[in-house]
């Protein structure tokens, strides 16, 4: 009888210990937060956008290990407002921060915001950040360890291409891969993951690439022979049905596209972008491998995102800062132990603005007032759950920052509202490349009216901040 009681007591103790460990693990989930700059959505294998070869096995594996959001959109198609939005929880239309050239320290909503790093530090987490995570807005006191990003030096003789000037260049870099700045920041993140942690951690690692200029080792260019490179499909006179304010957003970049095409460099440019994408994938793969080989794999949430998309000639535009698909569509992947299942794919339209409340819910942290977006946890549990679109993106013309431009993307298409009543609508169910502006087609009147009512009205938007004074 005594032995039976002893065995029962031991079993009970083991059960309680196991339950306690599970509870403790559930309460102390770590976070690995990964960001890439200017990485578009080509690796989603969407033939409507790009039908060429993208080599990104590590990101593909990460997507397959959790939930891959195939319809994720940025809050702003520019680095600083996008990163400020998803890291502060405050959308650009509430903060007034629409462009890199605006002074974020003058925004009252941002003064009251708490960064993601601050949210986790306040909850007792250790916080460490390496590389390009934020841009222009940060709360440095919320990082226990922080190592910023810087650009690699240009190769001797740069620019390396006939159209190369400043950021618009590409070609093999003269540095060894281990001497590149992104590689160094990845090394630092890996070292942090390998440390013994006495409390839960929030580790962020951001890569500057594939931001231009595209300088990476020759081996990555060799992965994409020029005769095998596929360029995105372009439409001549694509801007003919775009209103003047939309055309203005492409000012300067259209001339660069014309130069690339006239000199027959489109394949070379796409090759360089793909090469830089492959380098990014290799570096992020090292971070993920370090986590998976550590004791933290089963209690660490991994989120990977890109701050916005990138044009490579589509709509006669280069880079970002438009309200079309190429600039607004981005990557978003979550792997959350105990919540997500492998091979999850969600086609629901979501926003990077939803990341902040999602991580808060996953880690059972209390949200402060002023956080926009909605938690994606229902979609992490069931990628096909009912969901109302939150894919709103905003921008403004640098020449007229008082005018907030907005776009909404959902299952019915894309609606864009510029200033002075200028609009666009694309039925993406039949026109995925957004080649035909149907705003004046009466067939879509009810759809357009419905989408108009789903975006913030001008009265709900913050006054944009004054431009930085140039000395």
Taking the domains of the chain in order of start, what are their residue ranges?
29-391
Q: At what angle do helices 253-262 and 266-292 cross, to 10 degrees?
A: 110
pLDDT of residue 270: 98
pTM of the model: 0.91
Q: Whole-number mean pLDDT of the chain? A: 89
pLDDT tier for residue 402 given thresholds of 50, 70 and 90: low
Q: What is the mean pLDDT of residues 406-423?
A: 93
Single out the residue of 224, 241, 270 nearest to residue 424, CA to CA.
241
Q: According to the model, what pLDDT value does residue 112 have?
A: 85
Region 200-222: what's the mean pLDDT? 98
pLDDT in tens, 58-70: 999 999 999 999 9
- Nearest-CA neighbor of 273 among 231, 233, 305? 231
- pLDDT number for residue 17: 36
157 has a pLDDT exceeding 80: yes
> Which residues have a Cβ under 8 Å from the Cβ of 365 and sit 6 or more positions away?
119, 120, 123, 359
pLDDT classification of 412: cutoffs 50, 70, 90: very high
Return the percentage of the chain with pLDDT > 70, whole number: 89
- The two structure tokens encoding residue 250: 């492409």
Q: What is the pLDDT of residue 220?
A: 98
46 band by pLDDT with thresholds 50, 70 and 90: confident
Query: Is residue 431 predicted with pLDDT exceeding 90?
Result: yes
CA separation for the pair 169, 159 (Å, rounded): 6
Domain at 29-391, CATH homologous superfamily: Alkaline Phosphatase, subunit A (3.40.720.10)
Which range is least confidently modeled, 80-94, 309-323, 391-405, 456-470? 456-470
Predicted pLDDT of residue 152:
96
Assign 468 a pLDDT band (cuts: 50, 70, 90): very low
In this prediction, residue 370 carries a pLDDT of: 86
Q: Is the pLDDT of residue 8 over 80?
A: no
pLDDT of residue 156 exceeding 80, the answer is yes
Residue 398 in this model has a pLDDT that exceeds 90: no
Instruction: Please count the residues of the chain.
Output: 471
| Beta strand ranges found along 307-373 (DSSP E) | 311-312, 318-319, 329-330, 332-335, 344-346, 350-351
Note the pLDDT of residue 13.
37
Burial of 216 (0-12, 13-18, 19+ CB in 10 A): buried
pLDDT at residue 72 is higher than 60: yes
pLDDT grade for 352, boundaries at 50, 70 and 90 = very high
> What's the pLDDT score for residue 97?
77
Look at residue 267 and tell me whether its pLDDT is greater than 60. yes
Q: How confident is the model at residue 5 (pLDDT cuts 50, 70, 90)?
A: very low
What does the pLDDT read at residue 6? 41
């Amino acid at each position: 009888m005594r032995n039976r009681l002893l065995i029962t007591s031991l079993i009970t103790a083991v059960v309680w210990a196991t339950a306690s460990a599970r509870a403790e693990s559930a309460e102390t989930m770590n976070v690995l937060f990964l960001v890439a700059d200017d990485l578009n959505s080509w690796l989603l294998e969407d033939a409507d956008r790009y039908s060429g070869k993208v080599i990104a096995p590590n990101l593909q594996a990460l997507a397959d290990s959790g939930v891959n959001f195939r319809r994720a959109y940025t809050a702003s198609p520019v680095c600083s407002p996008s990163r400020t939005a998803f890291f502060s929880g405050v959308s650009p239309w509430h903060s007034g921060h629409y462009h890199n050239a605006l002074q974020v320290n003058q925004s009252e909503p941002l003064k009251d915001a708490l960064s993601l790093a601050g949210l986790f530090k306040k909850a007792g987490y250790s916080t460490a950040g390496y590389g390009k995570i934020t841009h222009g807005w940060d709360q440095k006191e919320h990082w226990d360890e922080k190592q910023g990003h810087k650009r690699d030096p240009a190769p001797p003789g740069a620019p390396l291409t006939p159209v190369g000037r400043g950021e618009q260049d590409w070609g093999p870099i003269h540095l060894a891969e281990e001497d590149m700045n992104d590689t160094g920041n990845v090394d630092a993140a890996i070292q942090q993951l390998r440390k013994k942690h006495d409390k839960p951690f929030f580790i962020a690692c951001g890569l500057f690439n594939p931001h231009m200029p595209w300088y990476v080792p020759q081996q990555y260019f060799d992965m994409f022979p020029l005769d095998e490179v596929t360029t995105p499909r372009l439409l001549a006179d694509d801007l003919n049905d775009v209103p003047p304010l939309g055309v203005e957003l492409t000012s300067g970049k259209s001339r660069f596209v014309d130069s690339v095409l006239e000199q027959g460099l489109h394949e070379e440019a796409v090759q360089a972008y793909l090469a830089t994408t492959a380098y990014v994938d290799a570096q992020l793969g090292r971070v993920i491998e370090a986590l998976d080989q550590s004791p933290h794999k089963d209690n660490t949430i991994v989120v990977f995102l890109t701050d916005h998309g990138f044009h490579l000639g589509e709509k006669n535009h280069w880079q970002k800062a438009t309200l079309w698909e190429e600039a607004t569509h981005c990557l978003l992947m979550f792997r959350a132990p105990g919540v997500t299942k492998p091979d999850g794919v969600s086609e629901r339209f979501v926003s990077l603005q939803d990341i902040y409340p999602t991580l808060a819910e996953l880690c059972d942290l209390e949200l402060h007032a002023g956080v926009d977006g909605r938690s994606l946890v229902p979609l992490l549990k069931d990628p096909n759950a009912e969901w109302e679109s939150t894919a709103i993106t905003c921008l403004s013309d640098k020449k007229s920052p008082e005018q907030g431009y907005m776009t909404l993307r959902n299952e019915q298409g894309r609606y864009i509202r510029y200033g002075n009543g200028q609009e666009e609508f694309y039925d993406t169910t039949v026109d995925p490349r957004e080649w035909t502006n149907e705003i004046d087609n009466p067939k879509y009147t009810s759809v357009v009216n419905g989408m108009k009512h789903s975006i913030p009205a001008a009265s709900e938007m913050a006054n944009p901040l004054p431009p930085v004074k140039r000395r």
